[in-house]
Homo-oligomer: A and B are copies of this chain.
Amino acid sequence: MTLPHPDTDQISLSTVLAALGDETRLAIVGCLARREDMGGLVCGQLGTLCSKTNLTYHVAKLREAGVVSVRPEGTKRHVSLRRADLDSRFPGFLDSVITTAVDMPAVDRALHKLSLPEDLGDA
C-alpha cells in the first residue's frame, strides 16, 4: 500500500460511522459491496456519484477511516472494502450496513453502466 491506511486495531467506530454518514460515501460503499466478489473496483467506475475531484475527497475519507483499501494500479486506483478488518473489529457491522446500502438508487445508477456491454451505457 502506497497510501496511508490505519492499522486494524486503530480503526475507530465513531470515525467509521462519521465516514459512512454521508449519502455519497454510503453509495460508494454500496457499490463496493456489489462488486466485492470482483475484488472491488476502480475510482473512475464511480463517476456518476459525484465529480472527479469530489470523489478523490470522499474516497480519501473512507480510506482514512479504515473502511476501504486503495491500491494504485498504474494511473488507476483500485478500491475495495476492508472486509476482514472491519469484521474482526466490529462483528456484524459491515453486513448490517451493506444490506441497506446496496439498494440505494445512486448505487443502481452507478453500476448500471458497468453491467452493460461495451460503452453503450449512456444510450
A107 contacts the other chain (Cβ, under 8 Å)?
A: no
User: Which of B19, B21, B90, B96 has a CB less than 8 Å from the CB of A90?
Assistant: B96
A2 contacts the other chain (Cβ, under 8 Å)?
A: no
User: Which of B15, B19, B26, B95 has a CB less than 8 Å from the CB of A92?
Assistant: B95
User: Which of B20, B93, B96 has a CB less than 8 Å from the CB of A91?
Assistant: B96
Bound-complex Cα distance A107 to B10 (A): 19
Judged by DSSP, the binding face of A is helix
A75 contacts the other chain (Cβ, under 8 Å)?
A: no
Instruction: Flag if B22 contacts A18 (CB, 8 Å).
Output: yes
Q: List the one stretch of A33-41, A51-59, A97-105, A111-119 in contact with chain B.
A: A97-105
Residue of B nearest to A21 (CB): B18
A23 contacts the other chain (Cβ, under 8 Å)?
A: yes
A17 contacts the other chain (Cβ, under 8 Å)?
A: yes
Residue of B nearest to A23 (CB): B14
Known interface pairs A14-B23, A93-B96; 9 further A-B residue pairs with C-beta atoms within 8 A, sorted by A's residue number: A13-B26, A14-B26, A17-B20, A17-B97, A18-B18, A18-B22, A21-B21, A90-B99, A93-B93
Chain A positions near chain B (C-beta within 8 angstroms): 13-23, 26, 90-93, 95-97, 99-101
